[in-house]
C-alpha cells in the first residue's frame, strides 16, 4: 500500500500562515514565497468651522498652511501662517498657453480678478521642507475647494493630522482670526470689475430712488425740470 501511495500522481497544496505556498508532489516538497499585501492606513481629514479651527491652533498646536494663490494671500491672510500655494501663476509662453491666458484675462481675470494659474509641481516637497509628517496642519483656502485637494496630496505623502475649514476663509466672520492685509479674510477673494460694479450699482440705485421720491412728492417741480431738458 505504501508503494502504491508513492506512485500516485496526486498533488496536495497548502498555504502556511507566513505567506509561503507549499506543494507536495509525491515525496518531494517545494515552496515559493507569496508577496505580502501592504496595509495602508489613510488619515481622515478633519473639517472644522472657524471657532473649532481657532482651538486647534491655540490648544492643539496646529500650524496654519495657506494654499491660496499669491494675490489672495497678499490681500489678507491669517497672522503667522505659512504660505505654500497649490496653484501658481502660469507664465508659460507656448502658443496654446498664450491663447488660454488671453481668454482668461479678458473674462475671469477682468471681472473677478483671478490670476491665470497652473498646479504647483513643488507643492508637496515645499511643505515637506517646512513640516515633518508628524506635524499638525490646518489647511486653509478661500472657498473651501483647494484645501481638500491639498489635504489629499499631503495625506498621500504621509501626513496624518490634517484639518480644513469648511467653506474656506470666505465663511469666517470679521475678527475671527488675527489677520494681515488690506481687507478682511472673507473678502480676499473679491477683485476685478465685480467689486467696482457693486459700487456703481449702489450709486445708481441711490440716484434712482432719489429721483423717484422727488417726482412723487414734488411733481410740479419735476415737470418743470423735464421741460427745461433739451429736446433730442
Contact 63, 137 (CB under 8 A): yes
| Partners of 46 in beta bridges | 163
Q: Are 53 and 163 in contact (CB under 8 A)?
A: yes
What is the spatial distance between Cα 65 and Cα 61, in angstroms, rounded to a whole number?
A: 13
How many CB atoms within 10 Å of residue 74? 14
From 8, 141, 164, 210, active-site residue: 141
Taking the C-alpha atoms of residue 187 and residue 76, their distance in angstroms, rounded to an integer, is 8
Secondary structure (3-state) at 47: strand
141 is catalytic: yes
Contacts of 220 (CB under 8 A, 6+ apart): none
Active-site residue set: 141
Amino acid at each position: 500500500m505504501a508503494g502504491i501511495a508513492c506512485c500516485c500522481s496526486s498533488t496536495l497544496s497548502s498555504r502556511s500562515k507566513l505567506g509561503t505556498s507549499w506543494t507536495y508532489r509525491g515525496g518531494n516538497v517545494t515552496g515559493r514565497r507569496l508577496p505580502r499585501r501592504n496595509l495602508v492606513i489613510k488619515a481622515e481629514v478633519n473639517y472644522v468651522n472657524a471657532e473649532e479651527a481657532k482651538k486647534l491652533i491655540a490648544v492643539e498646536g496646529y500650524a496654519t498652511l495657506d494654499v491660496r494663490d499669491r494675490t489672495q494671500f497678499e490681500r489678507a491672510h491669517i497672522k503667522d501662517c505659512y504660505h505654500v500655494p497649490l496653484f501658481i501663476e502660469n507664465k508659460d509662453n507656448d502658443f496654446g498657453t498664450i491663447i488660454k491666458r488671453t481668454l482668461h484675462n479678458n473674462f475671469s481675470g477682468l471681472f473677478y480678478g483671478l490670476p491665470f494659474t497652473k498646479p504647483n509641481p513643488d507643492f508637496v516637497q515645499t511643505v515637506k521642507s517646512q513640516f515633518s509628517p508628524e506635524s499638525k496642519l490646518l489647511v486653509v483656502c478661500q472657498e473651501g475647494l483647494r484645501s481638500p485637494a491639498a489635504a489629499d496630496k499631503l495625506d498621500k505623502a504621509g501626513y496624518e493630522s490634517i484639518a480644513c475649514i469648511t467653506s474656506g476663509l470666505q465663511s469666517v466672520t470679521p475678527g475671527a482670526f488675527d489677520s494681515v492685509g488690506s481687507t478682511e479674510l472673507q473678502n480676499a477673494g473679491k477683485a476685478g470689475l465685480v467689486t467696482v460694479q457693486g459700487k456703481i450699482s449702489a450709486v445708481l440705485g441711490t440716484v434712482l430712488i432719489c429721483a423717484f421720491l422727488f417726482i412723487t412728492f414734488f411733481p410740479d417741480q419735476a415737470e418743470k425740470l423735464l421741460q427745461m431738458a433739451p429736446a433730442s
